[in-house]
Structure 1
Amino acid sequence: MLAIHTYRHSLARLSRSQFISPFLKFKPGFIYQLITPISSPFSIQTISKNMTGDAPSSSTMASPPVSSSAAGPSTENGTEPESRYEPRYIDVGINLTDMTYQGIYHGRKAHDADLESVISRGQAIGCKKLMVTGSDYKHSLQAIELAEQYPGTIFATVGVHPCSASGVTKHITPTKSVQYLLKRVEELALQGKNRGTVTAFGEIGLDYDRFFLSDKESQLLVFEEQLRIAERVDLPLFLHSRAAEEDFNKLLFGANLPRKGLVHSFTGTLEEMKILVEHGYDIGINGCSLKTEENLAVVKEVPLERLQIETDGPWCEIRNSHASAKYLKTMPEYLANGVPKDVKKEKWQSGLRVKGRNEPCAIAGVAWVIAQVKGVEFEEVCERSWENSMTMFRFDEAAALQQKWNGNRPPEESA
């Protein structure tokens, strides 16, 4: 059984004066770009994608409340409460290699890079660990670079997303099989695992909503081969499934996998969720998982021992139009811990957030909504999801490997 911290208070008893309504200021978007950050030594062709169905834009978004006082609620005589739960989170799905964190939107520079501030804001609200998603070979390399820059805080996944599958299969020739083309992905995953920078194999899976990005045949071929690779690299899986339940389950459950994994950004049915849980898989919840009343009904039934939380930034924010927005309005101000206001990207200034661009500091809102939907303590959601993520992805072991590797690196590599 996973340990649960003793509850020191009940957030449900907070008075009305201790709540603040979020500002709801974002509009839905559609296309985003997946390209190499300008600071990276690697170059990659620009790819327009809509892998989640939600992209950053100037949209109507339900943000965590902006804190006017990071100190949080006070008692009637103005003193601080004797004790208050300090939440901790792990954002197990965040796309920090996206160009919006470099200030670039649809190929145009709108503002200075602010990735460091994005990471700092997440840490300020208690997001202590981030797992950066790799969607193809080059983005996996970039995720590893970030893990090397932020040891113990950032970790990477390595894999080929189903929407990137055609980028692999188009290079198949009589002398270059899919196995040959994915060999370097396997080697990168193994190297990163041994150095503590890679904690999951993925994002892999199937997406039948976006055949305009990768056809069905390419997706099946690449997913099946990556499941074979997963048998060898012995890492937990970071999985993607959209409108492909039958084929996804058939391939996944038929593989001889040494480790299970997480089906992230889950938006499936109650039956689909139960089948995955019965087979030992965890369920990742973000704003995309909290759109409709049907989504919320599924989230309510996700067992706490199988729950993990994420933002999937810069996408999958909680929007004003979502069924979950009503719960976000009741989130205590202190949980925002000084989250700054958001502005249009053209009016961005250092220290401010960008409208429509999701980021790790929003994870508090995801956890809060889940607690309200399930009717459990906020602390329980935070602690159970923390323990689930730590157990599955072994971040402590990875951090120790990072420290060991960094201590043994040649001077020219450490510079």
Structure 2
Amino acid sequence: MSNLCFSKYDQLKLKIIDIGANLSDHMYSGFYNHSNKSIHQNDVKNVLDRAFANHVEKIIITGTTLEESKEVLKISEQNDNLYITVGCHPTRSNEFEANPERYYQELLDLIKENDKKVVAVGECGLDYDRLRFCSKEVQKKYFEMQLELPKETKKPLFLHCRNSYADFAEILKRHHDQLHGGVVHSFTGTKEEAKIFTDLGYYIGINGCSLKSQENIEAMVSIPTEFLMIETDCPWCEVKASHAGHKFIKTRMPCVKKENWNEDILVKGRNEPAAIIQVLEIMSATRNEDIYSLANTLYQNTQNVFEI
């Protein structure tokens, strides 16, 4: 395990919870770029070993459809430090259409029957950047339907918002008194949009996509530390060399091209929880906060909201 540790920070003092990891994605089974041919074996175990060797204590695996929520539940059963969300991503909301009541009931049953593993309802919300997958009307209809799930289960929300802040905020405000908080994950909005959510009591999840531009960084810096969480949203949202935050990275992650896959090294272009330390380094540097103190606050925020 020690050979997998790339970080130079104190392993005992610095603990992180990755609130958003898509570990059921086909990339972790060797399928890339929509290919139907796998170029390496499933390496989720290797990915987890690297994460746990590099300050990640717990991981929340994201469910984006009913079937994927069932799949991530199976992955979570491998380790007591793995948890999941259950819900339907806005771009997949068409899945409700065949039988909305049945789809909703199956989500509800999955949450209730796995109470200790399921820590949030989601990923749900609105995404107006990808309307080719699902219309605004369908997204809004089933976002509101999914907001009934936290009312029945008392779970917080794991939320997705892309280019839809006005409608998204209006819906949340309308249901606010009956909900139980949560996090707007993978945040890429403005300072003003962040304040709308924190004023409602929602936390903001930060990953590599949240740190692409100087404007992104300024929005992140404007958020009070007591409203922040940290994530990878892997296998996407890595910190790239072109990102404004890249210059603040201190921990380098060895990686190889997918064709040269090695079970002990990251795959180039495929994000994973071990790399979350880079997001923390950027946040610490740009916020001018001690990295250990910041990590501790993010950890406590996450524990408090998701009760893990």
The number of equivalent residue pairs is 303
The reply on whether 1:345 has 2:258 as its aligned counterpart is yes
Alpha-carbon distance, 1:226 to partner: 0.4
CA contact (8 A) 1:240 1:263 kept: yes
- Structure 1 residue runs of 5 or longer lacking an equivalent are 1-66, 74-82, 396-415
Who is 2:102 aligned against?
180
Match of 1:323 among 237, 241, 244: 244
- Looking at structure 2, the residues matched to 85 and 112 of structure 1 have their Cα atoms a distance apart, in angstroms, of 32
Instruction: Return the TM-score normalized by structure 2.
Output: 0.94
Q: Which residues in structure 2 correspond to 1:117-266 (within 5 Å)?
A: 117-151=46-80, 153-169=81-97, 171=98, 176=99, 178-193=100-115, 196-255=116-175, 256-266=177-187
CA contact (8 A) 2:4 2:264 kept: no
Partner amino acid, structure 2, of 1:249: A
Which has more radius of gyration?
1
CA contact (8 A) 1:85 1:379 kept: no
Instruction: Return the TM-score normalized by structure 1.
Output: 0.70
Q: 1:129-182, CA deviations, whole angstroms, 9 ceiling, x for partnerless residues? A: 00000000011001111222212x10010000001101222x1xxxx4x23331
Who is 1:309 aligned against?
230
Partner amino acid, structure 1, of 2:117: T
The reply on whether 1:358 has 2:271 as its aligned counterpart is yes
Who is 1:279 aligned against?
200
- Looking at structure 2, the residues matched to 258 and 218 of structure 1 have their Cα atoms a distance apart, in angstroms, of 21
CA contact (8 A) 2:213 2:243 kept: yes
Q: 1:66-120, CA deviations, whole angstroms, 9 ceiling, x for partnerless residues? A: x9996949xxxxxxxxx89731100000000101111122222111211101001
Q: 1:370-402, CA deviations, whole angstroms, 9 ceiling, x for partnerless residues? A: 01111111112100000000000011xxxxxxx
CA contact (8 A) 1:179 1:225 kept: no
Higher RCO, 1 or 2 (CA under 8 Å, sep at least 6)? Answer: 1
CA contact (8 A) 2:5 2:54 kept: no
Q: Which residues in structure 2 correspond to 1:365-376 (within 5 Å)?
A: 365-376=278-289
Who is 2:38 aligned against?
109
Call closer, same or farther: CA 1:117–1:226 in 2, change over 3 Å.
same
Indicate the SS of the match to 1:324.
Answer: helix
Amino-acid identity (%): 36
Partner amino acid, structure 2, of 1:210: R
Indicate the SS of the match to 1:206.
Answer: strand
- Looking at structure 2, the residues matched to 371 and 276 of structure 1 have their Cα atoms a distance apart, in angstroms, of 22
Call closer, same or farther: CA 1:68–1:124 in 2, change over 3 Å.
closer
Indicate the SS of the match to 1:108.
Answer: coil
Call closer, same or farther: CA 1:69–1:226 in 2, change over 3 Å.
closer
- Looking at structure 2, the residues matched to 68 and 392 of structure 1 have their Cα atoms a distance apart, in angstroms, of 30
Specify which structure has the higher proportion of helix: 2
Alpha-carbon distance, 1:229 to partner: 2.1
Over the aligned positions, Cα root-mean-square deviation in angstroms equals 1.8
CA contact (8 A) 2:87 2:121 kept: yes
Indicate the SS of the match to 1:104.
Answer: coil
Q: 1:257-277, CA deviations, whole angstroms, 9 ceiling, x for partnerless residues? A: 341000000001110101100
Call closer, same or farther: CA 1:144–1:379 in 2, change over 3 Å.
same
- Looking at structure 2, the residues matched to 181 and 69 of structure 1 have their Cα atoms a distance apart, in angstroms, of 42
The reply on whether 1:88 has 2:19 as its aligned counterpart is no
